[in-house]
Structures are given as C-alpha cells and as structure tokens.
Amino acid sequence: MPHVVVLYNSGLLLVVDDSPVLGDLHMLAESDVQILFCGLCLTHFDCEKRLVIGEITNMYVIAEMMQGRNVMRP
C-alpha cells in the first residue's frame, strides 16, 4: 500500500466529482493513504468547486517528495 498518492497536471481530474476512480481513492484514503494534488493545477483546470477528496499542496512539495526528501506540507 502506498503512503501517498500525488496528482498534478491533468491527474488532478481524478479527484473531482465525475472521476471514475473516486471509489478507489476513498478506499485508499480510508487506509491512511495521503492524497495530494497541485493547487496551481487546480486553478488551471478550474476545478475548485468540483473537488471530492484530497489535500492541496504545491509543486515544490511534490518535487521534493518525488526526490525522496521528507518535507513538511504547507
């Protein structure tokens, strides 16, 4: 089981109201998997009102996580 799922660019569309994988994401979240997505991507795709699950972060945190560095979330 992953510790975190990170979504950015069009991957953000997986956490909005018409996503076909919302059930799976809810199951992961209930298993203490953190679901993070890029706030700038959220604005770019104009999805602020359609969010269902997850937490906003930024690309700095996402890049640091992908490099395996422990960073605190904003």
Q: Does residue 72 lie in a domain region?
A: no
Are 67 and 43 contacting, i.e. CB atoms less than 8 angstroms apart? no
With bands split at pLDDT 50, 70 and 90, how would you rate the model's confidence at 72?
Answer: low
The predicted model gives 26-55 an average pLDDT of: 95
Domain containing 60 equals 4-66
Residues in CB range of 49: below 8 A, 6 or more apart? none
Measure the CA–CA gap between 4 and 7, rounded to whole angstroms. 10
Model confidence, pTM: 0.83
Are 8 and 37 contacting, i.e. CB atoms less than 8 angstroms apart? yes
Q: Does residue 28 lie in a domain region?
A: yes
Q: Does residue 73 lie in a domain region?
A: no
pLDDT digits over 3-13, tens only? 899 999 999 99
The predicted model gives 50-66 an average pLDDT of: 91
